[in-house]
Amino acid sequence: MKLLRLGAVARKEFIHILRDPRSLGMAIAIPMLLLMLYGYALTLDVDDVPLVVWDQSQTPASREFISRFQGSRFFFLRSYVWNYHDVERAIDSGRALMAVIIPTDFAQRLEAHTGAEVQIIVDGSDSNTATFASGYAEAVAQTYSQDITLAALRRLGAPASPTPLDLRPRVWFNADLESKNYLIPGLIAVIMMIIAALLTSLTVAREWERGTMEQLISTPVKVPELILGKLLPYWLIGMFDVLLSVLMGRFVFQVPLRGSGALLFVMAAIFLAGALALGMLISIVTRNQLLANQLGMVLTFLPALLLSGFVYAISNMPLAIQVVTYLVPARYFVALLKGIYLKGVGLEVLAGEAFLLTIFAAGMIGLANWRFRKRLV
């Protein structure tokens, strides 16, 4: 391999990119647009659940119970209702996600220590939000019940005794449980896969369609020089996108980077090389720009979005799908990103993921060289 010939191929590809400013603009603008859209629109946080209340008791005890919901950051009291028809209409229209219905004998049953009942109706059309909202409501009810019990014991003159179990959960790495802190790092992997699908999946196919590949074949340029020379410009564009993504994550979304920034960029460089080589392999195999673009999106973007653990936990997937995820390189890169961003760990913990990512990059570059060599014969 001669650097002079490799540089000539890279220079040719750079010139082609500069002559097509729209493609260059898309390569930079689309990832940034996706980062903004996903960063602001894709959130798993459940706050300010709209709530309606039907208070049939109308007593200080029921008003105290309702105030617990009002004092929680997870609920927003939208209005009071006076019958089940109003409850149904509020939930059907989307004005409320949850309804709290307090019976007429609520205060009397509390005073008699016979156990008061409260009905919670939740809109289950969004199962994820409904699950979280139900959990928050149960926590509010349990806290209120515990306070009522302790107050009753004090009135009876019983000595204050500690509860049998004092649970004090502590969340590591993402103390505020903000979804953006783990979604934004995962987005970097998805964005880099999009770069591969948009850019290198068209390079060789474009040469064949325009009839310029025969000219390249007739030159002394060797296959590795041609492959690496074509990859280099897009690798630099991709690394620039990574830099922009990291800066936006830090200064726009305030996502802390607790680990090594150098390790992040090294892993990103390896992953990007493999993703771009995969895109080029698709271009070599298809020889058609439209087919290469469509196949590139299916093999890069969709697995990175759905099967990498970026949004959906792999442990919750069916066993057969979990096995398939081991073939998705974005799985290992997402694990690396979350480890570096959230936990601040290094290769002493992430060596396995880094090794598999390196194998992926080397394998894709090798396959692209082998497949293109086969086409030249």
Distance CA 246, CA 262 (A): 12
Domains contained in the chain, CATH given:
3-43+178-376 (no CATH), 49-155 (3.40.1710.10)
| Greater model confidence, 1 or 108 | 108
Q: Which CA distances in Å does 169 have to 12, 172, 181, 282, 339?
A: 58, 10, 19, 48, 21
Name the percent of the chain lying above pLDDT 70.
Answer: 91
- Confidence class for position 376, pLDDT limits 50, 70, 90: very low
pLDDT for residue 162: 59
pLDDT of 207 strictly over 80: no
Asked whether the beta carbons of 328 and 299 are under 8 A apart, the reply is: no
pLDDT of 160 strictly over 60: no
For residues 165-183, give the mean pLDDT: 78
Across the chain, mean pLDDT equals 84
For the whole prediction, is pTM greater than 0.85? no
Sheet bearing 98-102, strands edge to edge: 75-80, 49-55, 98-102, 119-122
pLDDT of 99 strictly over 80: yes
Distance CA 323, CA 314 (A): 10
Most confident listed range (112-116, 145-149, 152-156, 321-325): 321-325
Amino acid at residue number 144 = Y
Question: What secondary structure does DSSP assign to 41-60, as a single string?
Answer: H------SEEEEEEESS-SH
For residues 195-205, give the mean pLDDT: 71
